[in-house]
Structure 1
Amino acid sequence: MVHFLRHLPWSWLWDKYEGESGHGEEEDGQIKGQNSTEAIIMSALSTLSATQISHLTRCVYSILRYHHLRLSSLLSSPTIFAHTLHHLHSISLPHKTLLIARHLLSTLHHLTRFFQSTVPPPYSRTSLKLRDLDAVLLLLLLCQLRQHDPQALETCPSEWRTILCTHFSKTMLSLSGTGATSGAVLIPYIEVAARCRRFVGAVLSGGGGGGGEKLGREVGASTASVVALPSVEVSDGGVECVICKEEMRQGRDVCELPCEHLFHWMCILPWLVKRNTCPCCRFQLPSDDVFAEIERLWDVVVKSSSVNPHGECT
């Protein structure tokens, strides 16, 4: 089997996933920055009711159980493991980044479902094909093992399956011993989400294989979110469409965004093709861009928490 360490920047990949904190001593500021992501998510979840936490826990437990079943199947079969590792080796670093980003986006969709006043239409790109799901789960497991034991993978890749099986079994035993409490289920889920977000953020901000994606750029609203917009009748005249500056006459059907701002349909549709924001208040609609959607949902988490993006309580 090809020695993957010679052909892939695994160390770079693992360091980005771990927040570049896997080796050596960190300064207090670095540790603070790395912990801020978890702190923001935990703070946001603390605003949920007991019923909402219970629903979220059941949802996450079901997802984790499915992921564990996929990994168990993958690790128990030398053939499937070899094919998945080969697939992971064959795809480019931007493709690996996209897989982790889509995994993160799926996680954020579940974590933010109770923070949004209106639930957006399902995001189709969060559904990974089984081969890609297995690949990203294996990649995250490799990163997890590397963080737990930096020397474990300094061997021939032909031995990785046995090493991963041992690590995975220990992890499963520790989880089964704690029971399916909210903390036991949600905390590992949050930790993975935080590492994935740091990885995606580091790649995009550093240009290290992110496919040229730019943070903060304008993107259009998703087709599903535009189709789901309601048509309402103007009850009072004199209301101006801020795009064309003309009056929306009483009795006319117009478009209403989730923020309750109204626009002529012929004005707002071309706008939403280029931008996913409300012209009045900058409210963001879902988009079909994976990285923009991650930033949108992360903004939802930040606004729902009492911790600012720097990890400090407000």
Structure 2
Amino acid sequence: MADQNSTEAIIMAAISTLSPSRISDLSHSIAALFHCHRRRLFSLLSSPTIFSFALQHLQTISLHKKSLLIAHYLLLNLSVLNHFVKNSTAAPPYSATGMKLRDLDAVLLLLLLCELHQHEPEALESPPSFWRGVLCNYMADTMLKLTSFGASNGEVLIQFIEKVAKCRNFVNVMGGENGGSDEGKDGREVAASVAAVVALPSVEVSSGGRECVICKEEMIKGRDVCELPCSHLFHWMCILPWLKKRHTCPCCRCRLPTADVLAEIDRLLEDLVKIGGGGGGLYGECSCT
């Protein structure tokens, strides 16, 4: 798993591959997303009832679940960035990367509490019943940050990179590291997501003699087989059971999307490493590139 400095380096290298117009589009998209979240945070702090529910939710969940909340928030932001570095048109589909409102409230409050504790550790020594007022005062002093009108593209991107790196660091510290492996935190193998498997194309074998590495049998010319994003081919009856247990290609370990949030964060960061030209760095070079 990446530490904060390496995460910043990965993101900066990927952003450096964008054209000036795409950097501008990315900056506007990030500012709009964080402006939306900032407005939700203001709504949360202005309502004693909503604030009470969000704080109670945070106080009743485990440290691991708090880590997963931040991981989901991190994944949302990485998904926006990956969209811009991989695509040349349109804005990212926010609905596809959104969070449930209850979870969004909880993670925004959690991140704000962590930020306040970092800058003013003594502020949270007061009873929780006073925290809403303390947070309102802190927000009033910092409300001109990321979402302020007139901020330059560079300022927005710097704020974004810092926020993503901090979230990554929080996930590592609060939830423990999984070592960047293809397994879940508890040692289970991570399956490819259903949506990713359904989207896999079926292609016709153009020439005989090619072998399916799973069953070791020849793929017959003219028959339909499954093609993974790395272009490796497999019998459908062979690859489907494989992907129910693993989200990597049997040949080159190229990763498919997964429903496991920590594995998906690793996959997106790995993609950014390759895009930024750091194939031999933190995650190593994928043999399918």
The one of 210, 214, 234 equivalent to 1:263 is: 234
* Aligned twin of 2:273: 302
Preserved CA contact (<8 Å) 2:258 2:264: yes
- 1:79 Cα shift? 2.1
Q: Aligned pair in 2 of structure 1 residues 115, 260: CA closer, same or farther (>3 Å)?
A: farther
Q: Aligned pair in 2 of structure 1 residues 94, 67: CA closer, same or farther (>3 Å)?
A: same
- 1:228 Cα shift? 0.2
* Aligned twin of 2:38: 68
Q: Percent identity?
A: 60
* Aligned twin of 2:152: 181
The one of 194, 198, 201 equivalent to 1:227 is: 198
Distance 1:267 1:127 in 2: 34
TM-score, scaled relative to structure 1: 0.78
- 1:116 Cα shift? 4.5
Summarize deviations over 1:93-128 as a string: whole Å, max 9, x none: 2221111111111111112224448xxxx8999532
* Structure 2 SS opposite 1:158: helix
Distance 1:85 1:250 in 2: 61
The one of 74, 79, 89 equivalent to 1:109 is: 79
* Aligned twin of 1:284: 255
Preserved CA contact (<8 Å) 1:74 1:80: yes
* Number of corresponding residues: 271
Summarize deviations over 1:32-90 as a string: whole Å, max 9, x none: x6433212211221112223222222221221011011011111122221221112112
Preserved CA contact (<8 Å) 2:14 2:276: yes
The amino acid that maps onto 2:121 is: P
Q: Aligned pair in 2 of structure 1 residues 174, 287: CA closer, same or farther (>3 Å)?
A: closer
Distance 1:249 1:108 in 2: 41
* Aligned twin of 2:11: 41
1:139-288 correspondence to structure 2 within 5 Å: 139-175=110-146, 179-205=150-176, 214=185, 218-288=189-259
Preserved CA contact (<8 Å) 1:218 1:275: yes
1:137 aligns with 2:122: no
1:95 aligns with 2:68: no
Preserved CA contact (<8 Å) 2:31 2:147: no
Preserved CA contact (<8 Å) 1:204 1:213: no
- 1:176 Cα shift? 5.9
* Structure 1 SS opposite 2:247: coil
Q: Aligned pair in 2 of structure 1 residues 103, 186: CA closer, same or farther (>3 Å)?
A: same
Preserved CA contact (<8 Å) 1:235 1:250: yes
Distance 1:206 1:138 in 2: 23
Q: Aligned pair in 2 of structure 1 residues 306, 232: CA closer, same or farther (>3 Å)?
A: closer
Q: Structure 1: any 5+ residue segments left out of the alignment?
A: 1-32
The amino acid that maps onto 2:47 is: S
Distance 2:256 2:6 in 1: 26
Q: Structure 2: any 5+ residue segments left out of the alignment?
A: 88-92, 284-289
Distance 1:159 1:171 in 2: 19
* Structure 1 SS opposite 2:176: helix
TM-score, scaled relative to structure 2: 0.84
Summarize deviations over 1:249-270 as a string: whole Å, max 9, x none: 2211111111111111111111
The amino acid that maps onto 1:248 is: M
The amino acid that maps onto 1:260 is: S
- 1:171 Cα shift? 1.6
- 1:181 Cα shift? 2.3
